[in-house]
Amino acid sequence: MAVLPIIVAPDPRLKIVSQLVAAVDDDVRRLMDDMLDSMYAARGIGLAAAQVGVTRRVIVLDMARHDDEPAPMRLANPEIIAADSELITLQEGCLSLPEHWADVTRPQAVTVRYVDYENTVRTLDAEGMLATCIQHEMDHLDGVLFVDHISSLKRSIILRKLTKTKKLEEIS
């Protein structure tokens, strides 16, 4: 398994719509495992394949707290088949927008159909933080970042700061 570099915004690769996975085979399982390693190394709770430069509809999550056993989730071709009309606003961050946070409003609960690590179609009912995390990572598969859900002024400020940071890193 490998730790893959995570793409940082602004980067046009983060705006690409990902393609469906034909089947969860050994290559996709390897990608899922590498994504989990990358997510853990970056101390995140979710990661989409698009964030590591792979335009496949794959996300990984682990909502376990630091003192709990890891509880990794691997989802290919996730699709929301039902969403609660009740909304919840939570503060979101993103490994592709390091050190930036904003309140985002999303459905409080969702039902997701996906293909698991064993290539079996499953459904998952998620609510609260898990539902938010799944929706956040699924957005990446469609080229959407959490800052696309906030005001253009706040989005612009965050993206300008990230651009400045990238330029400073290139000079160093």
Q: Catalytic site residues?
A: 137
Q: What are the residues whose beta carbons fall under 8 Å from the beta carbon of 121, sequence distance 6 or more?
A: 113, 114, 115
> Are 139 and 51 within 8 A, CB to CB?
no
Joined together, the tokens standing for residue 154 give 């706040």
3: exposed, middle or buried (Cβ count in 10 Å: 0-12, 13-18, 19+): middle
Among 106, 104, 108, 107, residue whose Cα is nearest residue 154? 104
- In the chain, the amino acid numbered 80 is I
Per DSSP, the three-state class of 47 is strand
Return the CA Rg of the chain.
16
Cis peptide before 10 (omega within 30 of 0): yes
Look-up of token digits 């993103």: 94
